[in-house]
Chains A and B, each alone.
Chain A
Amino acid sequence: NAGVMQNPRHLVRRRGQEARLRCSPMKGHSHVYWYRQLPEEGLKFMVYLQKENIIDESGMPKERFSAEFPKEGPSILRIQQVVRGDSAAYFCASSPATGRFVTEAFFGQGTRLTVV
């Protein structure tokens, strides 16, 4: 059972370009979370999605950032018109739909975005 897969591992974009980060959750997982980690800082929650639904986007910047988790295919975190301050590691995590049971989330290796 493959873990959470993120690609690309490293992404370089010029200011003003678009960045697309992909996350394939673990098999059988229907909950996806995106986190951002700035250098030497902790993880900041961005968005929580289930298939075709955004459940909590309280951590998403109001502009330029969007996320989706379509019925088929990976979850996508999209950053339009990137700026230098968007340079960070972006981590995706997934967990199964277990109702009232509490499980840990499993993390991918992250995508390191560098804006030049």
Chain B
Amino acid sequence: AQSVAQPEDQVNVAEGNPLTVKCTYSVSGNPYLFWYVQYPNRGLQFLLKYITGDNLVKGSYGFEAEFNKSQTSFHLKKPSALVSDSALYFCAVRDGPAGNKLTFGGGTRVLVKP
């Protein structure tokens, strides 16, 4: 069975400071990893994914994520946070190509203060 853990319920950061949202995963096969963002009363928007290749993945809105196989982690990062980045962030894993369900972590609420 596949699973995802987001150890922090909430992350607070000052605008302009670096932002990190943590994610660890567990899969039996190759991990395919995703980050999504959810704004209030909205659906999920895709940010980025790791399939294979470079461990550092760049995505939308200046976000990037680092895949670390030995630590089974896929932390989301942004060098300089904006107030508008305040939202709910979800990490997800799929243990196979299309046709396998995405399993989501519990979400991390990010609050960026001006």
Residues of A at under 8 Å CB distance from B?
A: 4, 31, 33, 35, 41-45, 48, 55-56, 91, 93, 95-110, 112
Contact = CB atoms under 8 A, between A and B. Distances in A.
B97 A101 contact: yes
B51 A102 contact: yes
B49 A104 contact: yes
Interface string B85-103: 0000010001001110111
A41 B107 contact: yes
B106 A42 contact: yes
A80 to B, nearest CB: 24
Given A45-B104, A91-B44, A112-B41, 20 more contacts: A31-B99, A35-B104, A41-B106, A41-B107, A42-B104, A42-B106, A43-B44, A43-B90, A45-B101, A93-B102, A97-B99, A101-B97, A101-B98, A102-B49, A102-B97, A104-B34, A104-B49, A105-B46, A105-B102, A110-B43
A43 B32 CA distance: 18
Contacts of A96: 98
B43 A99 contact: no
Contacts of A102: 32, 49, 51, 94, 97-98
A51 to B, nearest CB: 13
Given A105-B102, A106-B46, A110-B43, A98 B97 contact: yes
Nearest to A6: B43
Nearest to A56: B101
Contacts of A95: 98
28 contacts: A4-B43, A31-B99, A33-B101, A35-B104, A41-B106, A41-B107, A42-B90, A42-B105, A43-B44, A44-B104, A45-B102, A45-B104, A48-B101, A91-B43, A91-B44, A97-B98, A97-B99, A99-B97, A99-B98, A100-B97, A101-B97, A102-B97, A105-B46, A105-B102, A106-B46, A108-B43, A109-B42, A109-B43
